[in-house]
Amino acid sequence: MKTLHTTEPTQYPAFWNEEWLKRAIDELDTRKMTPEERAYFARVTAANAEAVKAEKQKIKEAVEQGELAVKTEVVIKALKRGKLTVEEIAEDSGVSVDFVFEIQRSLTQNQ
């Protein structure tokens, strides 16, 4: 019993993670605030949340654009080879037949 206070915990509770600790600290900090400070804190927190949401949306759109660019390149290469039908190209590249026709039209206009 004398050394009980010197032992280190070997396993933390499941809820005890960084996010939970951060929320607990933030809640304690906001209890000390005046109503004006609390309102300002709420506005800043909301603005930060919106900024994070907007950034996630930008990342998602960039990924989608990258995927679209790759699919476009695959379709262009397949069309230039000329060995597959439009339907086969669309199925193999995971795009619609209309998408393949649109790229085919743009290739014929550029030539």
Q: What is the residue extent of each domain of the chain?
A: 16-110
Q: Are 74 and 93 within 8 A, CB to CB?
A: yes
pLDDT above 80 for 103? yes
Q: pLDDT class for 29, splitting at 50, 70, 90?
A: confident
Return the DSSP state at 16. Answer: -
Residue 69 contacts residue 93 (beta carbons within 8 Å): no
pTM, to two decimals: 0.52
93-102 mean pLDDT: 91
To the nearest 10 degrees (0 to 180), the angle between helices 86-93 and 35-81 is 140
- Tens of pLDDT, residue by residue over 30-75, are 778 888 988 888 898 899 899 999 999 999 999 999 999 999 999 9
Q: Check residue 109 and give its pLDDT.
A: 85
Strands, E assignment, 1-111: none
Contact 41, 33 (CB under 8 A): yes
**Chain centre distance of CA 75:** 26
